Amino acid sequence: MRRFLLIALIGLSVAYAAPRKRPAEQEDGVSLAGLLVREGEWERAATAIAAVDTKAKGVDLPRYWTLRGLVELHERRAAEAATSFRAALATATEGRELLELHLARALLAAEVPDEALAALERAGDVGASLPGTWLLRASACEAAGRTDDAWSALDAGAERFPDQPELRRQQVFLLVRLGLFREARARGEALLARPDADADDAVAISEALRRGGETREALTILEAALLEEGEDRDLLVQAARASLDDAQPRNAGRFLERATILDSALALEAAEAYRRGGDLDAALRMNGQVADPAAKARQRLGLLIEEQGWERAVALEPRLVRAGLTKDDGIAYGLAYSWFRLGEHAHAERWLRDIREPAAFRRATELREAMAACERGGGCL
């Protein structure tokens, strides 16, 4: 939830970091830091704020401590940020409610949710007028183990701000975390029926359900979204993930194959999904679309060995050598085994002799024993 809170409250950071009207001669490191924070130049803002002499005449101390707290919060130094925001409150005569909201964010990140809730109470009506405050309150309540209050905060916020889908979205996520998957699916579908819903909503809700182990529910939502949105790369990839979790690798391969039309880099994953599903013809077809020659050759060798296509496997040898892949003991063993299955023991031994990796070395030893047995018996396989 905290990722969404950061997005929801970033406006507060910009609002308080905005420059005030000051004489040109009083432009200083604080003003520069405020500009850099607004532009997202956090490293430079940290350098600027560190260079400020707080004892110098004319320094805007409330703004200095606020900007310092924002930089520290961005750097994930939550406890230090809370200290800075408290210092800002100690020197501020205006904008205190927004400072309390910043303090609440820092306290929640520092894992003291009860203190965060107290800061939110002090934010009063100004805080209540911002949708992000209700998200922050819900997160703090949940972190404090007060899930009923977390739900109430989201519900109250959604009633007050019906045009803010994030509040309803977080209700779905909370239901998933509580294990109430049927209700989560119902509310998720209602959210997706909103005119402002998009593919990102379907991905987010299905991911929450998937992580909760409800892969069938996730797939239902994704398939409905695909019918509504059309072919969408992220929806298709998410449907593939859910299919894999649901032990449907061939279905995952189909979703990924469709996604490959939109993003050719997914061909390797599509081939692997088909391989896991036992559809080697489809796996080889998708492997043919892989752009990276090394990754393509490596995967193709594995597929051909699994298919027992020994002649085609050894035909890859020049390509594997050019790509430098035969230095990999697994690849070397694969070629040796393919030559062995063709009865070409001398070629097999050529690839076995440099294998050193323990697991591959054990397999190489077993393969040598098998070749010796074949030669003693006058035939093999």
Is residue 123 in a domain? yes
Amino acid identity for residue 353 in this structure:
R
> What are the tens digits of pLDDT across the range 20-37?
444 333 347 899 999 999
**CA end-to-end span of the chain:** 59
In this structure, what DSSP letter does residue 71 have? Answer: H
Q: Report the 10 Å Cβ neighbour count for 96.
A: 17
pLDDT given for residue 255 in this prediction: 96
Give the pLDDT score at 344: 92
Against a cut of 0.85, is the pTM above it?
no
Residue 129 lies in a domain: yes
CA angle 285-327-295, nearest 5°? 25
Per-residue confidence (pLDDT) for residue 15, from 0 to 100:
43
Structure tokens of 311?
């002649």
CB 135 within 8 A of CB 1: yes
pLDDT at 184: 84
Q: Which H or E run includes 82?
A: helix 78-91
The predicted pLDDT at position 342 comes to 93
Secondary structure letter of residue 26 according to DSSP: G
Helix then strand count (H, E) for the chain reads 23, 0
pLDDT at 200: 85
Where is 366: in which H helix or E strand?
A: helix 358-377
DSSP string of 126-180? HHHTSHHHHHHHHHHHHHTT-HHHHHHHHHHHHHH-TT-HHHHHHHHHHHHHTT-
- 115-128 per-position pLDDT tens digit: 999 999 999 999 99
Instruction: Flag whether 265 is in a domain.
Output: no
* Residue 334 in domain: no
Give whole-number Cα distances, 30 to 15, 66, 67, 191, 219, in Å.
Answer: 15, 10, 8, 43, 51
What range does the domain containing 140 cover?
Answer: 1-161
Residue 113 falls inside a structural domain? yes
Question: In 3-state terms, what secondary structure has residue 110?
Answer: coil
Within a domain: residue 20? yes
pLDDT less than 50: residues of the chain: 1-27
Report if residue 140 sits inside a domain.
yes
In a domain, 78, yes or no: yes
Closest CA to 69 of 94, 95, 24, 34: 34
202/193 Cα distance (integer angstroms): 10
Query: What is the rounded (10 degree) CA torsion for 212, 217, 218, 223?
Result: 180
Rounded CA-CA distance 213/208 in Å is 9
Give the chain's radius of gyration (CA, Å). 30
What's the CATH code of the domain at 49?
1.25.40.10
| Number of domains observed in the structure of the chain | 1
